[in-house]
Amino acid sequence: MEESFGDLKGCQKTYQKTALSQYFAPQKIEEALEILSKYGEEIKIIAGGTDLLVQYYDRLYEINNWLDLKNIIELKKIRISKNQMEIGATVTHSQLENSEDIKKYFPILSQAAADIGSPQIRNRGTVGGNIVNASPAGDLLPPLMAYDAQFKLLSVQKEELIPAEEFFVGPKQTIIKPDQLLTQVILPLPYEKTYDSWIKIGKRRALAIATITLALVVKMAEDNKTIKEARACLGSVAPTPIQIKEIRERMIGKNFNQLDFNQLGQMVEDKISPIDDIRGTREYRKDVAKEIMINALEEVYSSWWRSYK
């Protein structure tokens, strides 16, 4: 289980190591938790490495100890248990993109996964990495939030289930502690009629970090007329992915016919306060937030209409 690589390449030059580097690639979650409890902040978890290795490009030597999740088969599974979908933390974007179950129950999660990076990145990058990395532009985060996901965090001491909305606290900041491992993403299976829409705006058609994203999930009551639940979640418009709660309040209990899409779009525009950065300006993001909200509503509406007829 324990493989020691000794000093990593290029490390002695600028960085004095405290001890020999350790590389762990356990097969069991429990072993991983043990290692985490022992090393705490002194170890880095690596899943696909597509964020980590970019962040530490040219200074990999700063990482003393590695916990590689690659051998934990348990974390690679997508399965349905009772009324929920359990997605293992190291399920890759390609898996999400292609899983029949995900496509059936959580279509926009699959679509968002398909919009990530390139085939190479999708083959390596994981859902857990996307979550813990907590980029405001992480593509899976708005759909996960919109589907009311919970994240299972394990440590030697305890198990916690954290709702997506409470997990992210800032750009690249979450509430996860150094001794915790994200093991699963849990999504309640929708039993209602659900209509959803995913929109990603980037500066090109692939390999684009999002300028703005929107995930809209609308669940209908038994009559398939009244909106029972509605969640509009956006990425790249705030320090964390966010849900526009006012949309929920405005939509629940209404029929589609009672909604003014334009007004809802305006609401999204008004409620976000994006910044200027290299991927887009505040003005652009605000403008487009409204437009994509209207588009998403129209898409949701027309798929509802098709099923209603």
Ligand X SMILES: Cc1cc2nc3c(=O)[nH]c(=O)nc-3n(C[C@H](O)[C@H](O)[C@H](O)COP(=O)(O)OP(=O)(O)OC[C@H]3O[C@@H](n4cnc5c(N)ncnc54)[C@H](O)[C@@H]3O)c2cc1C
Please give the radius of gyration of the chain, using alpha carbons only, rounded to the nearest integer.
21
Min. distance of Cβ 173 from another protein in angstroms? 12
Quick one: 89 or 220, whose CB is closer to ligand X? 89
Burial of 209 (0-12, 13-18, 19+ CB in 10 A): middle
Looking only at residues 233 through 252 of this chain, which bind another protein when binding is defined by CB under 8 A? 236
How far is residue 64 from each of residues 1, 82, 146, measured CA to CA in Å? 17, 41, 37
CA atoms of 202 and 220, how far apart (whole Å): 31
Could you tell me which of 212, 178, 228, 187 has the C-alpha nearest to residue 104?
187
Q: Among 39-47, 66-74, 208-216, 220-228, which window interacts with another protein (CB under 8 A)?
A: 208-216
> Residue 71 touches which of ligand X, another protein, none (CB < 5 to 8 A by kind)?
none
Residue with tokens 């990999």: 60
Min. distance of Cβ 202 from ligand X in angstroms? 7
> Residue 46 touches which of ligand X, another protein, none (CB < 5 to 8 A by kind)?
ligand X
How far is residue 33 from each of residues 36, 39, 177, 287, 300, measured CA to CA in Å? 5, 10, 12, 45, 42
Looking only at residues 160 through 179 of this chain, which bind another protein when binding is defined by CB under 8 A? 171-172
**Contact residue for ligand X among 9, 13, 16, 54 (CB under 6 A):** 54
Q: Among 74-82, 95-103, 197-205, 246-254, which window interacts with another protein (CB under 8 A)?
A: 197-205
- Contact status: 132 vs another protein (CB under 8 A): no
- Contact status: 181 vs ligand X (CB under 6 A): yes
How far is residue 277 from each of residues 125, 171, 280, measured CA to CA in Å? 24, 13, 6
State the sign of the Cα–Cα–Cα–Cα dihedral 208, 126, 192, 104: positive
CA atoms of 227 and 65, how far apart (whole Å): 50
- Contact status: 62 vs another protein (CB under 8 A): no
- Contact status: 126 vs ligand X (CB under 6 A): yes
Residues forming contacts to another protein in the complex (CB under 8 A) are 10, 13-14, 118, 135-137, 171-172, 201, 203-209, 211, 236, 275-281, 283-284, 287-288, 291-292, 294-295
Residues forming contacts to ligand X in the complex (CB under 6 A) are 44-52, 54, 69, 89, 116-117, 121, 124-126, 128-130, 132-133, 138-139, 181-182, 207, 209
